[in-house]
Amino acid sequence: MPQHATATTRLRVPSVAARATGLTKIYGESETRVVALDSVTVEFGRGRFTAIMGPSGSGKSTLMHCMAGLDTFSGGSARIGDTELSGLTDRQLTRLRREKIGFVFQSFNLLPTLDALENITLPLDIAGRKPDQEWLELIVGTVGLSGRLRHRPSQLSGGQQQRVAVARALAGRPEIVFADEPTGNLDSRSGAEALGFLRDSVRELGQTVVMVTHDPVAASYADRVVFLADGRVSDDLPAPTPETVLDRMRLFDAKGRTN
């Protein structure tokens, strides 16, 4: 193929931060066999904020864990950028997580003895990486905690603690951030603070975020909602609002669940 054709093709291909192709995860055997992911194919666009929703047991956590290299899978492919996860050793997976992935958990997971700034830079310190000072300042500016950086987690509200956790996930400028129910422990106002920061990290800093949530309001901060049901992608909603997300959820309930 001539070189210019390759370049043109490349330009037309939308940039994908992570991709699952025919991703299958089976737990257990015979009577205890559970197909948690049933050949899931989905792409997470770079610089986009995607929410994953679905009923309890539909496979949301399993999908996130397999995509983030936290769990192995039974078949298909999971890629972060150009890296295929199947076949990587535990050591390679650890390195991939450290270098390319940011994590935000429901329970913040901040170290109580460190102040906010030390918590933000901790993963880089552990990895022996020097923080990119300009990037760090950008994150700290966006997180809106400049007066609180020397406070310990116990001196911060839940929403502020989760913003510190999001800043920590972003500090290494990861390829993708996976957030697992980030507002699950927050009241609606604190949740809005954390979600606003996640959204700003995508819109203003060009980051990529994939978030599992049960909350239609939280999902409406995303650019797109992928719905799972019974381990399969059942719906894909662009430009969600709380109302359109609720409508899709009601539609699904009306159709009835198969498990």
Ligand X SMILES: Nc1ncnc2c1ncn2[C@@H]1O[C@H](COP(=O)(O)OP(=O)(O)OP(=O)(O)O)[C@@H](O)[C@H]1O
Nearest to 145 by CA among 211, 72, 194: 194
Per-residue x/- track, 52-91, ligand X (CB under 6 A)? --x-xxxxxxx-----------------------------
Cross-strand pairs, 43:
19
Residue count, binding to ligand X (CB under 6 A): 12
Contact present, 23 and 225 (Cβ < 8 Å): no
The span of 50-58, 149-157, 203-211, 232-240 binding ligand X (CB under 6 A) equals: 50-58
Nearer CB in complex with ligand X: 153/231: 231
Q: Is 253 near ligand X (CB under 6 A)?
A: no
**Residue 213 CB, nearest approach to ligand X (Å):** 9
Check residue 20 for interaction with ligand X (CB under 6 A): no
**Phi, psi torsion values for 249, nearest 5 degrees:** -65, -40
For the chain, report the end-to-end CA distance as a whole number of angstroms: 49
Under rule CB under 6 A, residue 34 binds ligand X: yes
The verdict on 154 binding ligand X (CB under 6 A) reads no
Coil, helix or strand for 248?
A: helix
User: What CA–CA distance (Å, rounded) separates 192 from 29?
Assistant: 42
Tokens standing for residue 114: 């460190």
Binding flag, residue 184, ligand X (CB under 6 A): no
Instruction: Give the binding site for ligand X (CB under 6 A).
Output: 27-28, 34, 36, 54, 56-62
